[in-house]
Amino acid sequence: MDADGMEAPPAPLPGRCTCGAVHYRLDAPPLIVHCCHCRWCQRETGTAFALNALVERDRLVVLAGSPEVIPTPSESGRGQRIVRCPTCRVALWSHYPGGGDAIAFVRVGTLETPDALAPDVHIFTASKQPWVRLDPATPSFEGFYDPATQWPAASLRRAREAKARTR
């Protein structure tokens, strides 16, 4: 259990790309896990949604390889930077303007144990595929949401501290 009484997934959480050229490790449990159903995520992943674990970038350790950063457009017009393996091109994590360099949106499917992280929230469900069924116990939003109302207090504190460290 974490400081807020929430069940925290085990850390560290190792991950890698498909070809194995890039290995990484999360040294802290995620701040929150988003399941994004927006059309942009559908297009970028080639599937129905993107499952991202948000974690402080300084808690994400690259163990092998040199991932490359690819500037990519986003629906907001502010863009994102997708971090990929330079060999197999698999997307490992992203940085969005709101989190800047402080917060990484790690692709849960690249973890060695992706089943360790279920979504904490579903976002942009207005554009979810109609055949996707959501667990009514998991909060869902037609668009985005206010993190102050959904994130555990410890996660809000960790995110503030991470942003302060990257200034």
pLDDT(10) > 90: no
- Mean pLDDT on 48-69: 97
- If 0-12 CB within 10 Å is exposed, 13-18 middle and 19+ buried, where does residue 116 land? middle
For the chain, what are the domain ranges? 13-165
pLDDT(33) > 90: yes
Look at residues 57, 8, 32 and name the one whose alpha carbon lies nearest to residue 144. Answer: 32
pTM of the model: 0.91
pLDDT digits (tens, 9 = 90+) for 102-126: 999 999 999 999 999 999 999 999 9
Decide: 64 and 21 in contact? Cβ < 8 Å: yes
For residue 26, what are the β-bridge partners?
Answer: 13, 60
- Mean pLDDT on 133-154: 96
pLDDT digits (tens, 9 = 90+) for 82-100: 999 999 999 999 998 888 8
What gap in Å lies between CA 65 and CA 67, rounded to an integer?
6
DSSP letter (8 states) at residue 46: T
Looking at the domain 13-165, which fold is it? glutathione-dependent formaldehyde- activating enzyme (gfa) (3.90.1590)
